[in-house]
Structure formats: structure tokens, C-alpha cells
Amino acid sequence: MVPIAQQKIDLLEVSVYATRKEMGQAAADLGAARIRELLKERESVNIILGSAPSQLELYAALLTSGLDFGRIHAFHMDEYLGLAPDAPQGFGNYLKEHLFQHAGFRSVHYINGQADNPAAECARYAALLEAYPPDVIFEGIGENGHLAFNDPGVADFHDPARVKISNMDEVCRAQQVHDGCFASLEEVPRQAVTLTIPQLTPPEATLVITVPGPTKAQAVYHTLCGPITEACPASILRRHPHATLVLDRDAAANTGLVKV
């Protein structure tokens, strides 16, 4: 895939593609290339994946990438609290539907959003992440600039936890309606389990951030053009030594990187 624009902003590599499909393919190619490099040196690789419609093109491209999924341990980065176990909006269920059930991963580790003790579930998942430190992280950016459910007001660039319970802000909850996951704001849960900012941005991992669509244009602008601040959690990506932000034309519309 040939980008229509490329630029490095602080440490963050930014590539813009003409279409969502090209964006997803480029992101998958980038992540798959890193996974293959690592598999030359070791038996298995650990990855974390975001769960959202914005990632669908990425999932599809990963499934046709020829990766040896049998050598990959997979995690996801957030989960609603309190949904029914089979709710299609559950992020683990979403990833299973669109990716996990189509590829024979060595292991898939789900966050349990129905746990009787959410704090204990955070501790359990944190221990797994410590045992399987991420090598490649595929993530997106929310309409409010969040990473996973680290919303403005909740995000902490120096969070001591790996996994925590997050209170979702109104913009974040509204995004779930915009994405078509819920019919109304009242249906969207108010709390979730989320990996924290440090767990999503470890300096030794490769980050592939895939962000399409006009509804993300303002968040992308603040990520790239504003101050690095917890008011826009994704702005921390500009300090990461191995991160690439992959956009389509619509998501890049406010940045000056492409003509619209």
C-alpha cells in the first residue's frame, strides 16, 4: 500500500491512505511484518487488540496475512462491566466473531466482564499480561481521544496499575451509539475494565494505531497537533519510539496532511 501522505510528528510515524481498506491492509502489513521478525527469534509472540468497528479492515487483512496464528497469544484491551455473557456488544465477543474464531491462535485471553469481583478480575488479567508482555499492540483512538477506556479525566500517563476499572465519560458512551453497537445512550454501560495507558504504550512494544472516518478527525487533530496531555490521552503516542498511526483520508482531514 502506498500512502498519500506521511510525516513524523515527534516520535510518532503517521501514514495516511486514500481508503479504509488500504488503511487496514497497511496496518496489518506493518504489524504482521513485526510479528514475523519476532517469530524468527522465538517460539511465540504476544499481541493485544482493540475491539471496535474501526478495526474491521485490520482484522480482515490480518486473516489473509499468512501469519502463523498458532504461535500467537492474544489479549484484548477493554471490556464492559455488566453485559450478558453472550451480548454482541461485548468486546471479547466482538473479537471472537470477527477474528478469533477464524484463526487458530495459540491462546486467547478474555477479560470477564461478568466477574463477581471486578477488582479481582483486574488483578487476574494484569498477572496474565505480566506473564505474556505484549510485543505488538493493535489499537485505535476514540472520539474523545481515549486509548481503550482511558478517557479524559480517567487517563493517567503514569498509572501504577496494568488493568483498572474505568468510569466511561459521556463522549465515550455516545461513541458506542455512533458505532452502531447500542441503540441508545441509556443502553451503554457506565463502567468497564481497561488496560491502562502504560500497559498500552510499553516502550519495548510495537504499536499500530488504526483510525478511520470523519468522526475521528477532531481526535486525530488533538492527538497530532495539540499538547501532549491527559486531556487527549492519545497524544502520549507522540512519545513512543515504535508507534505508527495509520489513518484514512477522512480521519486526517483536520491535520493539514492531506487536501480535502
Beta bridge partners of 108: 74
Residue 66 lies in a domain: yes
Residue 139 CA to residue 131 CA, distance in Å, equals 21
Please give the model's pTM, rounded to 2 decimal places: 0.94
pLDDT, averaged across the chain: 95
Q: What is the pLDDT of residues 120-136, one digit of tens each?
A: 999 999 999 999 999 99
pLDDT computed for residue 183 by the predictor: 82
Residue 152 lies in a domain: yes
Residue 260 lies in a domain: no
Q: What is the pLDDT of residues 81-104, one digit of tens each?
A: 989 899 888 999 999 999 999 999
Residue 255 lies in a domain: no
Q: What is the pLDDT of residues 23-77, one digit of tens each?
A: 999 999 999 999 999 999 999 999 999 999 999 999 999 999 999 999 999 999 9
Residue 48 lies in a domain: yes
Share of the chain above pLDDT 70, in %: 99
Whether pLDDT at 21 is above 70: yes
Q: Is the dihedral of CA 143, 144, 146, 148 positive or negative?
A: negative
Counted domains in the chain: 1
Whether pLDDT at 260 is above 70: no
User: Residue 116: CB partners within 8 Å, gap ≥ 6?
Assistant: none
Residue 177 CA to its chain's centroid (Å): 18
Provide the CATH number for the domain around residue 212: 3.40.50.1360
Residue 253 lies in a domain: no
Q: What is the pLDDT of residues 142-201, one digit of tens each?
A: 999 999 999 998 999 999 999 999 987 777 778 788 877 888 888 787 789 999 999 999
Residue 187 lies in a domain: yes
Residue 182 lies in a domain: yes
Residue 143 CA to residue 126 CA, distance in Å, equals 26
Strand order in the sheet with 243-248: 5-9, 12-17, 243-248, 206-211, 136-139, 45-49, 72-76, 107-109
Structural domain span for residue 176 = 6-248
